[in-house]
Chains A and B, each alone.
Chain A
Amino acid sequence: NAGVTQTPKFQVLKTGQSMTLQCAQDMNHNSMYWYRQDPGMGLRLIYYSASEGTTDKGEVPNGYNVSRLNKREFSLRLESAAPSQTSVYFCASSERGHEQYFGPGTRLTVT
């Protein structure tokens, strides 16, 4: 039982490059989330998916897109990376109204 897994763990991009962050959970949760964490800013919700086939914007969605591929997988795409997107990205999953389980994070640097 791996919980929530994320790939890659680290990534360095140049401005303008694109990439996709992958997330998968094996807990059969309906809801999945993408957060970014910046120093002193806590966790900010980028996008979420309340169930398979649905996605919605969170607090800071600009510059990102998501895909809920199936119930297990929820990916985050940066189409044209910017230095302001340098951050730690966490994926999480939960059943509605219950605690969230977080993945180990992806540390992204955009130069």
Chain B
Amino acid sequence: GQQVMQIPQYQHVQEGEDFTTYCNSSTTLSNIQWYKQRPGGHPVFLIQLVKSGEVKKQKRLTFQFGEAKKNSSLHITATQTTDVGTYFCAGPIYGGSQGNLIFGKGTKLSVKP
């Protein structure tokens, strides 16, 4: 069945270091979404990428969608303690009802001050 895989599962960084999480889909995606979940909180939408090769930036966060629309990455420059949380990618379920998403298992980021 369709799978969305994220690596790494965990990442521990020193404050100020960069961080990258990678998302790989077993199928071509029409779009990919990224969410952040703070500890004890709920997932919050960050961004949606639609076009092949698309790159979007939000302050220190850079999101990329692969040329083949099967992979994506989120890069955080100079991490801060406020970046702590779990980052999920999600793509539309192939052949499913429009709007249904399949989520990766997430990358949990911890930042040491």
**Smallest Cβ distance from B63 to chain A, in angstroms?**
13
A50 touches B88 (CB 8 A): no
Type the 1/0 row for B91-111, where 1 means its CB is closer than 8 Å to any CB of A. Answer: 010000111111111100000
Residues of A within 8 A of B42 (CB): 90, 102-105
Distance between Cα atoms of A90 and B102 in the complex (Å): 15
Q: Does A94 contact B (CB under 8 A)?
A: yes
B99 touches A41 (CB 8 A): no
Residues of A within 8 A of B104 (CB): 42
Q: Knowing A40-B9, A42-B88, A42-B104 touch, does A31 contact B99 (C-beta < 8 A)?
A: yes
**Chain B interface size range:** 20 to 34
Distance between Cα atoms of A60 and B106 in the complex (Å): 19
Type the 1/0 row for A21-64, where 1 means its CB is closer than 8 Å to any CB of B. Answer: 00000000001010000001111110010100000101000000
B105 touches A100 (CB 8 A): no
A102 touches B44 (CB 8 A): yes
In the complex, residue of chain A having the shortest beta-carbon distance to the beta carbon of B93: A45
A42 touches B99 (CB 8 A): no
In the complex, residue of chain B having the shortest beta-carbon distance to the beta carbon of A95: B99
Residues of A within 8 A of B44 (CB): 102
Q: List 22 A-B residue pairs with CB atoms under 8 Å apart, sorted by A's residue number.
A: A31-B99, A40-B9, A40-B105, A42-B106, A44-B103, A45-B100, A48-B97, A48-B100, A50-B99, A56-B97, A90-B42, A90-B43, A92-B43, A94-B99, A96-B98, A97-B98, A99-B33, A99-B48, A100-B43, A101-B45, A102-B42, A104-B42
